[in-house]
Amino acid sequence: MKVSGRIASLVTLTLLLSACSQNDNLAKLQAFVQEGPQLHPKVQPLPPIPQYAATAYSNPQNRDPFTSFSTLALRAEAASAGTQNAPQRKGPLQPLEKYALGSLTLTGIMQADGKYWAVFLTPDDKVYRADVGSGIGDKNGHIVSIDAQRHKVVVIQYLPNAFGGYEKQSTTLHFQSNA
pLDDT of residue 171: 92
Q: Which of 5-19, 100-114, 155-169 has the lowest mean pLDDT?
A: 5-19
The pLDDT score that the predictor gives to residue 92 is 86
Other Cβ atoms less than 10 A from the Cβ of 140: the count is: 19
**In terms of Cα–Cα distance, which of 84, 53, 47, 90 is closest to 159?**
84
Which pTM was predicted? 0.53
Q: Is pLDDT above 60 for 160?
A: yes
Query: 63-82: per-residue pLDDT in tens?
Result: 777 777 777 777 776 666 55
Domains recognised in the chain with CATH numbers: 95-174 (2.30.30.830)
Give the model confidence (pLDDT) of 3-53 as tens digits.
677 888 878 877 776 666 666 777 788 888 887 777 777 788 999 999 988
Contact 175, 155 (CB under 8 A): no
